[in-house]
Each structure stands twice: as structure tokens, then as C-alpha cells.
Structure 1
Amino acid sequence: MAGGEEDIEDESLIGKIADTLTDEKEFVVEKAIQALKVIGKNNPSLVTKIISQKVKESPENEELKSVVDIVLKSIVTVEKIDELVEESDQRELTDKELIEKEEAEIIDKELELKKKEIEIKNKYGTRREET
């Protein structure tokens, strides 16, 4: 980008740039790719989200898929892939912890129910013996 590096976080602006990825003029497409690459280095998740959404809006547009692929490959480096893998591993641990906690709660509730059943049986059992 001429004039310096500025963080761009405006979704609508990134969306407008992404809209030019299917322009008829090749130089416009090239400039859009360059701009998205630069923006994507500082804010990869936002750019990825927006251009992926553009592809979902036009799933039959192979040219768009190709251009988006170029942009994504340039902003998703090996380091960022490692970060994404770490994040997903952390989410998996959190999910496992939640499941274990819920299972423990279910077991506790089952034990409470069994205790109540035994109490009820004992109450009715002793009443029957009295009669």
C-alpha cells in the first residue's frame, strides 16, 4: 500500500476490496489481491472470514475461488497454521473438560436419585411391616 502501513479493520472496506476480486480488468484484481495480502498479514482472521464469505455467496465462481486461494495461501503461513492448531487443541481440551464436568454432574444426580429411591423403599417397607 502506498503511503505506509496502516491497520485496516473495517469489514465493509475489506468487503469492498474483496468485491473487486471478480473485476473484468486484470490489474484491478491484482491490486485487490495485493491489498488483501497486506491487510491479511495484520488481520488474517478478518480477511479470511470476509473472503471465505464471498466464496460461499458465489460457490459456482471458480475464478473467485482461485483468487481467494492465492490470498489465503499468502496470509496463512506455517506459523499461523501452528497457532490455529494450538487454538483448536485448547478448544478440544475445554470441550473435554466440559463433558467430564457434565458427566460428573449426571453421576451425582443419579446417586441422589438412588438414595431417594432407597429412602422411599425404606419408608414404605417399614410401613408395610407395621401393618
Structure 2
Amino acid sequence: MTTVYASAGGNRYHRGSTCSALEMGQNIHDYDCDCWGYCTHGRGHYVLETTPSQARTNGKSPCRVCLPDAVLGPSEDDFGHEPVTNGFGGHRCSRCTTTITHYDEAYQPSRWTAFVAWPCATAVVLGLAPRAAA
């Protein structure tokens, strides 16, 4: 059984208790206050050992820093992000667009709106498409 680490107040679980994202979350709670040295908000939540399934049951998702390959599972809603054939043999996102700016010889801008190729970043985050290898 795999052991992971999470705090009661966080939204993620981590591979180890020394994950930089976990430590940063603890530091933000401990040091980013407006108490000016007279802290009354108390210490952050303790980091506890748990299992991935128990952490998911508690509403936590895998840390993207120390567990980048963990499967989040597809989102319940795709928010309109789905692959559509782009007419050139590829696919584009049905929702995402980007603005392309081109400058002519007189440095006059021309702007076009273009669809984003599939998978868009949102589809990857929602778990609708696999994450590309780094």
C-alpha cells in the first residue's frame, strides 16, 4: 500500500512530507498573515500519513509538483471543451481561441482569431485528454 501525505486544511496529497508545494502551503499559512509578529491565527494543520484512496475520499487531488503523472480522472463537465475536426486532418478545441497578431511592412497590426489545437490546456487539466510527456 502506498503512503502519501496530506494536511487537513489542504486540497492536495503529496508523495513525501518534504514536497516543496506542501512546504510552501504550510509556510503561506504560517507566515503570510497580517498579525505583524503577534500571530493569533495558530499554526497550520499537521501533515499526516494516508493512502491515495483515503485522500481522494477526503476530497484531495494529487499534487501536480511531486505526482505529475497521477491520474486525476475525467471531470464531470467538459465545459464545452471537446475535439472537433479542423478540416486539415487534425483536431481543434470547440471552445478555445487565441488571437494572432501580424505586423505588415508599415508595422500596422492585423489580428485574427484562431482556434486552439486539441488538446487545449483546459482539456488536459479537466482530464479530458492525456497529458503530453515533458
Task: Please give the TM-score of this superposition, normalised by the length of structure 2.
Answer: 0.29
Task: Please give the TM-score of this superposition, normalised by the length of structure 1.
Answer: 0.29
Relative to its length, the structure with more strand (as a share) is 2
Relative to its length, the structure with more helix (as a share) is 1
Max Rg structure: 1
